[in-house]
Chain A
Amino acid sequence: MLFALSWKNIWRNPLRSAVVIASIALGLFCGIFATAFMNGMGRQTVDNAVTRELANIQLHEPSFVEEPLPSRVIPGADSIFAALRADTSVKAVAARTGVTAMAATAKTGAGVVVKGVDPVEERRISRLPDDIITGNWFEGNRRNAAVIGGKLAEKLAAKLKTRIVLTTQNREGELTGGAFAVVGIFETSNSTFDENTVFVKRSDLSRLIGAEGDAIHEIVLLLKRNESTDSMAAMVKNAYPGLSVRTWKEIQPEVGMMESLMRQMMYLFVLVILFALSFGIVNTMLMAVLERRREFGMLMAVGMSNRRIFSMVMIETVLLSIAGGVLGMALGEGAVAATAKTGINLSSLGKGLAAIGYSPLVYPYIDAGFFGGLCLLVIVSGIVASIYPAVKALGLNPADAVRSET
């Protein structure tokens, strides 16, 4: 009875209720879309970091992490590589050689990180080959080929076929160098990465640093599910206690922090919106109660209990909130669905975003669980917003209220 009566009461003043429902819907729509937008940015940052730079887990010889010297290779890398590739939760494994070097062209030079990769293996683990904007990803059997970032190319005034000299230390700690021809230029959303990373073939780099066979400094794992990163890392640590095993969150904690911060911000953001909206709801319900003083007086007089009167006002408020909430969630989900495939192009801000590791094309994303939490928040806001008007209703004196003008 209370439920049906409360629902009918909402439509007593359709315009006023519609305004409140619309304001809740609009507020939630904005909250959901902004949340999905931030969430999308956060996910893309993580996704970019994992699929282009870091993968899920990296293994190194522990001292290499402190100072990446060419001599600090992973002992028994081949067997570790084979064992990890056999794990069912692993999507792909790659072994890399890594050194720091000076890259120089005839015009200028820059400090860089050189990654020696197996191009086929690397393609399985990284989407970077898809980001080539000029040239190719080590096609053919050309020796001493290099793929560099667009920013670095700009800095070194290099283009395709430009020869760059990489100067680094060899295994003995002596200076060594080699000329590499640019065969590809990539561009990711992380301009810092683009500015200081050079990819060469693992065999070429190993030869440059004087290693017998391939020198493996780094084994990277791409997992089938990002969520299993921590558990897999724990297993690998257990299996190889002598190695440094780090997840992408440990390597770039700021990316992990950003992701968790954005998750918390999602609820905080919507909470602030609902908090602001609840004042509007309180105002509306207070008006509704005061306009119906005579009716509340009658209800009290005929024997409706305080609990039922309180519940009636509360249900009315919650229903009003839910109506706005459902509409807002439908609009928000619709807008997210509409933009999730095409993305939102922020190329006008693109350079600034890329400098801090964001893609200028943002794909809003919101997971279904968020809506569950949101429903709960909407209901709680409705309950909280109903307290004051309901207490006002209970404060009426039935004998006076039944004789009032309203």
Chain B
Amino acid sequence: MSIIELKDVTKTFNAATVPIHAVGGVDLTIDEGEFAAIVGPSGSGKTTLLNLIGGLDEPTSGSIIIDGTDITRLKPGERTRFRLRNIGFVFQSYNLIPVLTVYENAGFIMELRGDPAAERDRRVRRLLDEVGLGDRLESRPSRLSGGQQQRVAVARALAPRPRFILADEPTANLDSHSAENLLEIMARLNREENATFLFSTHDPRVVKKARRVITIEDGAVASDKRMPEERAVHG
């Protein structure tokens, strides 16, 4: 069952002056439970595409349908609420809130959604255990390594059980060991929680783990390959 459906999506920057066609006529479908990577050289349009799918930017034309809702037709406020309810984000720079503890950061989006405190507590504790930070609940982000911070960010994104998670270069700032560890965790959560992950990445380690690799060149889908199932499972 498809969660994300892009129909002839284009994005042109500076349309009135010197137009830059960042994305041109992309058709793409992402199914529930996928562990997919969008790859491509710098400037190929993969981050723009991810921003469009995440509702952080509006396409110049085309439609982006998420779980049956065309988000291009939503007003800004509605799109913000839609993101809160349906999309999880993992950023390259972790973007944790430094004044909150690991526990508070991981539960932040659930709290923002107004999820019941007891449910939030159970979910956050379980996820932090899953990502190996169950003993660091009261630590501040500044006391954690980059890999640990990114694991908190993954727990934060997954906590409210979004329809899918967009991860923009999640391993770019991590060393090999931390990156491998993070990818293992995400792959496991993808299997165990049937969480859908869509990465934008340069990182061959991510590409190696992905079950589907979508290559973008000059703003268009150059190739779309599905990998054998055991690749993602066993790395």
Contacts and interface: CB of A to CB of B under 8 A. Distances in A.
Contact of A301 (B56, B81, B82, B108): B56
Nearest to B95: A298
B98 interface: yes
A304 B95 contact: no
Contacts of B112: 1, 302-304, 308
Contacts of A5: 97, 99-100
B99 A11 contact: yes
B91 A303 contact: no
Interface string B76-116: 01001111110111011101011110000000110111000
Contacts of A402: 91, 93, 95, 168
Nearest to B50: A399
Contacts of B93: 294, 402-403
A95 B56 CA distance: 86
A302, A398, A399 — which one has the most chain B CB atoms within 10 A of its CB? A302
A53 interface: no
A1 B111 contact: yes
Interface in A189-242: none
B45 to A, nearest CB: 13
Interface string A289-321: 000001101101111111010000000000000
B111 A301 contact: no
B40 interface: no
B95 A305 contact: no
A178 B84 CA distance: 98
Nearest to B57: A399
B51 interface: yes
A297 to B, nearest CB: 8
Contact of A303 (B84, B100, B168): B84
A1 B80 CA distance: 19
B95 A295 contact: yes
Contacts of B80: 300, 303-306
A295 B81 CA distance: 18
B59 interface: no
A304 B97 CA distance: 14
Given A303-B81, A303-B83, A295 B51 contact: no
A294 B113 CA distance: 21
A5 B112 CA distance: 12
Contacts of A300: 80
B170 interface: no
Interface string A1-16: 1000100110110000
B37 to A, nearest CB: 19
Contacts of A302: 83-84, 88-89, 108-109, 112
A18 to B, nearest CB: 16
Given A5-B97, A5-B99, A11-B99, A399 B83 contact: no
Contacts of A305: 77, 80-81
A303 B82 CA distance: 7
B106 to A, nearest CB: 13
A403 B92 contact: yes
Contact of A294 (B95, B109, B111): B95
Given A8-B99, A8-B100, A12-B98, A303 B111 contact: no
A303 B98 CA distance: 19
Q: Which of B54, B57, B88, B112 has the most CB of A within 10 A?
A: B112
Nearest to B94: A298
Interface in A1-39: 1, 5, 8-9, 11-12
Given A295-B97, A298-B95, A402-B168, 8 more contacts: A5-B100, A298-B89, A302-B84, A302-B109, A303-B112, A304-B80, A306-B80, A402-B91
17 contacts: A1-B112, A9-B99, A12-B99, A294-B95, A300-B80, A301-B54, A302-B109, A302-B112, A303-B83, A303-B84, A303-B109, A303-B112, A305-B80, A308-B112, A402-B91, A402-B168, A403-B92
A-B pairs with lowest CB-CB distance, top 4: A303-B84, A8-B99, A298-B95, A303-B83
